[in-house]
Structure formats: structure tokens, C-alpha cells
Amino acid sequence: MDGVNLTQVFAWTREVNWVGIILATIILVVGVFIGQIIRKITYKITIRFMPEPTARNTARAIYYIIVFIAGASALGALGIDLTGLLVAGGIIGIILGFALQNITANLFSGLFIYWEKPFNPGDLVEINGMQGWVLDISIMSTRLLGLDGVKIRIPNQEVFQSRIKNYAASKARRLDFVIGIAYSEDAEKAYQVIRRVLDQHPLVLIDPPPDIFVNELGSSSVNILVRVWVPSKGMLWYKVYKDLLWKMKKAITDAGIEIPFIQNDVWFRTPLHIKIEKKEE
């Protein structure tokens, strides 16, 4: 009985593909080892331009891809036919591709945003007409704190495809004012009054210099365009905007220069007859 069992065991060991098992083990071990090395290298490279969680997840995803390829190669070395598995994986991949289309688009858009760096956390930006400070840039979305204190989440695909204004990218920002004076007023006098206000303000830059000129002859007023450059740090420009607008209005009023209301002339095609009736007492 023992002799029969030993014969069966020896027969089984002769039928086992030991070369394939050894080769599959080597492929799997080498694949895991290479995956760990590439994982560390990827993390060290991506951490330079990505947030730490994103860099870690990216390196981890590459590691799993390498291990999966090594596992598939190891199964092939054992003589296992992977055709059915590849076909099924391809079908599942196509289904997931359609289902996760938006997620994939946001993922790659987030990577492009990290590489291009159109803004950084803390910057005041305008994205697709929405203004606010950048709170966080994740792999899937960008979050803003709006000027009204409301938090805004924008998918990275929309951010990547939008026109972005970064108000913190430069050290100075231009402010524009339109001041209308009556046609009967002296435009040169108005120019001098506005110029004094700008020269006395400590936050109006002299380089580039302020620009004051008549921009339009409107229907009710002569419109003077005032352009000044101010520091763009934080919300300093907004404080300067409010301060200048108030001081220019007050200075023009104190100088006796009229800021007219909108005036409209009404014409009738036919003569207009007015009849006044007196009430009998």
C-alpha cells in the first residue's frame, strides 16, 4: 500500500511544471521588487509639484499596476491561458471607461493643473465667472471661498477648460473709474481735482503712472476715465478702490463741479395741446 502511494506521489511530482513554478515565482518577486523601487522614485518626483496625499496615491497606483503586470506574466509562465481573462477585463474596462468618464476627466485635469500651476492656495482668482480665494486643490476638484463667504467646489475638468484670472499672480493691479461731469463744467478743472486726490493717496503707484482722460461724450455727461495701479496683495486693492471712489466724489463736489443726472428729451410727432380747466366754485 505504501509502495503504491509513493509511486503516485513520485508520478505527481514528475507531472508538476517545476520550471514554470520557479520562473513564475521569480517573475512575481522581481515584479514586486521593481514596483517598490518605482513607487519610491515616483513619490519623490511627484511630491515636488503635487500635494502629499496625491503624490502618495499616484505612486501607489503605479505600484499596483506593475504588480498586476508581474502577476499576469507569472500566470503565463505557468501555462495558464489568459485570453478569456483579458477579454473579460477588456469588456469590464470599456464599461468602466464610460461609467467613470467624468471622474477620469477630472483626474487628468487635476494632474495638468498641478503641473501648470495657474494658481496656489490662498490666491484670489476668478474661475468661470466665480471669484474667491483658493482653499484647496485636490485631484478631483478645486475649492474656493467666495467673496461672500460661501464655499465653492468646482470640478477640475471645468477649471482646466475655463478662463482663469489670478489676481494674486502680479504685485500690482489696475483700477478703473468712470466719472461723469456736466457739459457746462470745465474738464481741465475736473482733471486737476482728480489728479490731486490721486497724488495724495499713499497707495496709488507712480510707476505705472495714473492715467486720466476724457473717454466718452455721453448723452448726459462728459465721461472721464481714471486708471490707477495699486498693490494687489490680499484685499488691499478693494480698500483702495472704495477710498478713492469716495474721495474723488467728495473732491469734485467740494470744487463745485456738477455730476449730472441722466437727462432724456421727449419729442412728440404731432403738436401737443394742453387744456387747463378751472374748477368752478
Closest residue by Cα to residue 190 from 217, 226, 159, 154: 226
Residue pair 127/153 in contact by the 8 Å Cβ criterion: no
Check which CATH number belongs to the domain holding 210 and give it.
3.30.70.100
Domain carrying residue 6: 2-99
Q: Compute the distance between CA of residue 240 and CA of residue 236 in angstroms, rounded to an integer.
A: 6
57 part of a folded domain: yes
SS3 178: strand
**Same domain for 6 and 92?**
yes
270 part of a folded domain: no
Name which residue leads in pLDDT, 35 or 57. 35
192 part of a folded domain: yes
275 part of a folded domain: no
Q: Which secondary structure element, helix H or strand E, spans residue 227, and what is its range?
A: strand 222-231
Lateral strand order in the sheet of 222-231: 172-181, 222-231, 211-217
**What pLDDT sits at residue 1?**
46
Model confidence at 263, in pLDDT bands (50, 70, 90)? low
What percent of the chain is predicted at pLDDT more than 70? 75
Q: Compute the distance between CA of residue 58 and CA of residue 39 in angstroms, rounded to an integer.
A: 9
* Domains of the chain: total: 3
* Amino acid making up residue 61: A
Q: What is the DSSP string of 42-89?
A: HHHHHTTTS-HHHHHHHHHHHHHHHHHHHHHHHHHHTT---HHHHHHH
Q: Give yes or no for residue 184 having a pLDDT over 80.
A: yes
**Same domain for 18 and 88?**
yes
- Ramachandran bin of 112, using left for φ above 0, alpha for ψ from -120 to 50, beta for the remaining angles: alpha
Q: Give yes or no for residue 16 having a pLDDT over 90.
A: no
Considering 5-14, 44-53, 123-132, the range whose residues carry the highest mean pLDDT is 123-132
264 part of a folded domain: no
Q: Compute the distance between CA of residue 139 and CA of residue 280 in angstroms, rounded to an integer.
A: 85
CA-to-CA dists, residue 81 to 1, 29, 77, 94, angstroms:
37, 21, 10, 22
Average pLDDT over residues 255-274: 75
Average pLDDT over residues 13-31: 72
* 124-165 residue pLDDT tens: 898 888 888 898 887 778 899 988 889 998 888 888 888 888
**Same domain for 18 and 66?**
yes
**Same domain for 88 and 149?**
no
260 part of a folded domain: no
**Same domain for 90 and 144?**
no
Total-model pTM? 0.54
187 part of a folded domain: yes
7 part of a folded domain: yes
